[in-house]
Structure 1
Amino acid sequence: MTARGDRPTYPEIGATAGALPDGYHHAVRSRVIGSGEQTFHRAADRLLGWQLQRRAGAGFRADSATAVPGARVSVRVGWGPVGITAPCEVVYVVDEPRRRGFAYGTLPGHPVRGEEYFGVEWRADDTVLLTIKAFSRPATWWARAGAPVARLAQRRITDRYLRSLDDSS
């Protein structure tokens, strides 16, 4: 993980809570993962306890048992010895009666700059929706050169995230 004094590598900290900023690649994906209050609370607990990342198969480390502002995480994606470690910091947490989640932002050493939000919502129709919302752009020359491959990899991990908290998990 990065040094404690490191700050997120982009100026629009917290922007996934509203309109995504210009000048970045945007991704917004949602999936119904079940229904009812019990499902919502179970999914929220799993989400805030880092289970979304762990169940999706990403290499993952955190310096906190749950997602709290300032928590540092490191996500590793790749195959065998070939992989990328991506340090992030939780920049905000949502804790509302029918909506819970968090966003983390990139830190120095991450191949991109940006932020990703993970949230669950218990909707009025009783469904429970998992949403992932992100903005990013390359931070290194090799991330720029590999942008098409990186976007494909990002889409695949997002698909795994979206499947990781449904009722059958």
Structure 2
Amino acid sequence: MRDTWPETFAALAAADLTYAEVGATRDASLPSAYGHVLRDVVVGKGRGAFEQAAEGLFTWQMHREAGLAPVSTAQRAAVGAIVVLRAGLGPARLAIPCRVVYTEEESDRRGFAYGTLPGHPECGEEAFLVRYTTSGEVHVRIRAFSRPASLLARAGEPLSRLAQAYATSRYITAIRRLANSAG
């Protein structure tokens, strides 16, 4: 499949996102017609932990550490970058295409959000933000809204919600590990 990545990325770059509320993970309230995820967890302490966590997030390392195999048009998350997250093995491997829709890169707040593209089992947006607080704590905040994108996904919606909760927990564990690898 590696030989088809240029064609895959070209098709995804030309595709529209599969939802209308682009950027809504920045808002105080998430769109009501979707299921929601909101987790805000302390993952470390100190500026070094913050820098390491932010770097791991932006370079797709968090996704790799969480057990996904990302393939992207960019080494670092940037607006417009396409990432295909791959879950599973062999013929059961699921391709999960997304596009980065915004980034935040301030001294004490760094992160990005990506939105779903055609072929993703869900439609919606997920945002990842690493924050450094005045007390020196490092937080990761994950906000998402989504709903099933296909008939098959709708039929398995309870399993989809469990899979999303599992993935969110794995992201948090990965960021915690990355933050605490600062040394």
TM class, shorter-length: over 0.9
Instruction: Report the residue type matching 1:78 in the other structure.
Output: G
2:111 aligns to what?
Answer: 101
Q: 2:101 aligns with which of 88, 91, 102?
A: 91
1:5 aligns to what?
Answer: 14
- Percent identical pairs in the alignment equals 46
Count of equivalent residues:
169
2:4 aligns to what?
Answer: none
> TM-score with structure 1 length normalisation?
0.95
Q: Higher strand proportion, which one?
A: 1
Instruction: Return the alpha-carbon distance in structure 2 between the equivalents of residues 110 and 168 of structure 1.
Output: 32
1:54 aligns to what?
Answer: 64
Offset at residue 32 of structure 1 (A)? 1.0
Cα deviation digits, residues 126-158 of structure 1 (max 9, x gap): 100011110001110000000111111111111
Q: Is the 8 A contact 1:116 1:135 kept in 2?
A: yes
Q: Does 1:32 align with 2:42?
A: yes
Q: 1:149 aligns with which of 150, 154, 159?
A: 159
Cα deviation digits, residues 7-37 of structure 1 (max 9, x gap): 2110100000112111000001122111111
Instruction: Report the residue type matching 1:134 in the other structure.
Output: A
Q: Is the 8 A contact 1:30 1:162 kept in 2?
A: no
Q: Secondary structure at the match of 1:165?
A: helix
Segment of structure 1 superposing worse, 95-104 or 28-37: 28-37
Q: Secondary structure at the match of 1:164?
A: helix
Q: How does 1:67-82 map to 2 (within 5 A)?
A: 67-78=77-88, 80-82=90-92
Q: Higher helix proportion, which one?
A: 2
Instruction: Report the residue type matching 1:26 in the other structure.
Output: H
2:148 aligns to what?
Answer: 138
Q: Does 1:110 align with 2:120?
A: yes
Offset at residue 80 of structure 1 (A)? 4.8
Q: Does 1:119 align with 2:126?
A: no
Instruction: Output the aligned Cα RMSD.
Output: 1.3
Unaligned regions of 5+ residues in structure 2, if any?
A: 1-7
